[in-house]
Amino acid sequence: MAAPLIAPSILSADFARLAEEVRAIDAAGADWIHVDVMDGHFVPNITIGPGVVKALRPHSAKPFDVHLMIAPIDPYLEAFAAAGADIITVHPEAGPHIHRTVQAIHALGKKAGIALNPATPAKLLDYLIDEIDLVLVMSVNPGFGGQSFITSQLRKIDALRKMIDKTGRPIHLEVDGGIDVLTARQCTDAGADALVAGTASFKGGPSCYAANIAALKGAD
């Protein structure tokens, strides 16, 4: 099985040195830079907005994987696209017309992802799967880093892998929350090809980042 793409979540970086942290995690082998945007309304935490994404953009050439946990969502898509997001992932619960939101992301020239909360079934994608570029399986309830992996999501990853393969399209299957070396392996075995990792990427400080990412890729 190919090594998964690793998308370190900068939520676990040192916010006082964010640009340096992005440079360091990029140099350490991150495939994507995962940006968790939270509004204190859709989820019970507030993080960063498009201004910070724009400021970080010159510090890495890797794709910015922007995970929006905000409601409403449609009024903010343009700002994140302009700030330099490459993939924009949205929660179906964050707006009344998710299909239209996906169309809007594509109209901005960006890749569109759908995030499924732990209780949201894979079936929700029946009439969306042919339109999207990425599925993000939330293996924790969104809002905070450092939570424990919810094991029931492995069944969902397995079901989504089958659904994606049936389309014949190159749709990424990414998992977010509670990823460590053990759960990373479980997710890739179930069919994931990209893993978000906050705590596990940034633990120990910059001198550990390369080893952290290599371990998540299963290289140790």
Kindly tell me which residue out of 18, 108, 118, 147 binds ligand DX5, with binding defined by CB under 6 A: 147
At 193, which amino acid appears? D
CB of 166 to ligand DX5, least distance (A): 27
- Does 176 engage in binding with ligand DX5 (CB under 6 A)? yes
CA–CA distance, 205 with 209 (Å, rounded to integer): 7
- Does 29 engage in binding with ligand DX5 (CB under 6 A)? no
Kindly tell me which residue out of 176, 179, 195, 209 binds Zn ion, with binding defined by CB under 5 A: 176
| Token couple for 135 | 């599925």
CB of 58 to ligand DX5, least distance (A): 23
Find the angle CA(186)-CA(191)-CA(193) to the nearest 5 degrees: 95
Active site residue 31: no
Kindly tell me which residue out of 21, 26, 36, 174 binds ligand DX5, with binding defined by CB under 6 A: 36
- Does 21 engage in binding with ligand DX5 (CB under 6 A)? no
Number of residues that bind Zn ion (CB under 5 A): 3
CB of 165 to ligand DX5, least distance (A): 25
In which order are the strands placed within the sheet that holds 172-176? 5-8, 194-197, 172-176, 134-138, 111-116, 87-90, 64-69, 33-38
Kindly tell me which residue out of 199, 209, 216, 217 binds ligand DX5, with binding defined by CB under 6 A: 199
CB of 47 to ligand DX5, least distance (A): 9
CA–CA distance, 58 with 141 (Å, rounded to integer): 31
CA–CA distance, 122 with 116 (Å, rounded to integer): 7
Which of 26, 31, 133, 176 is the catalytic position? Answer: 176
Kindly tell me which residue out of 50, 63, 113, 178 binds ligand DX5, with binding defined by CB under 6 A: 178
Could you give the residue ranges of the DSSP H alpha helices within the chain?
18-27, 50-56, 77-83, 98-107, 153-167, 181-190, 199-202, 209-216
DSSP label at 9? B
- Does 145 engage in binding with ligand DX5 (CB under 6 A)? yes
At 149, which amino acid appears? F
Taking phi over 0 as left and psi of -120 to 50 as alpha, with beta for the rest, 76 belongs to: alpha
Kindly tell me which residue out of 13, 98, 179, 213 binds ligand DX5, with binding defined by CB under 6 A: 179
Active site residue 158: no
- Does 174 engage in binding with Zn ion (CB under 5 A)? no
Active-site residues, by number, are 36, 176
Binding site for ligand DX5 (CB under 6 A): 9, 11-12, 34, 36, 67, 140, 142-143, 145-147, 176-179, 196-200
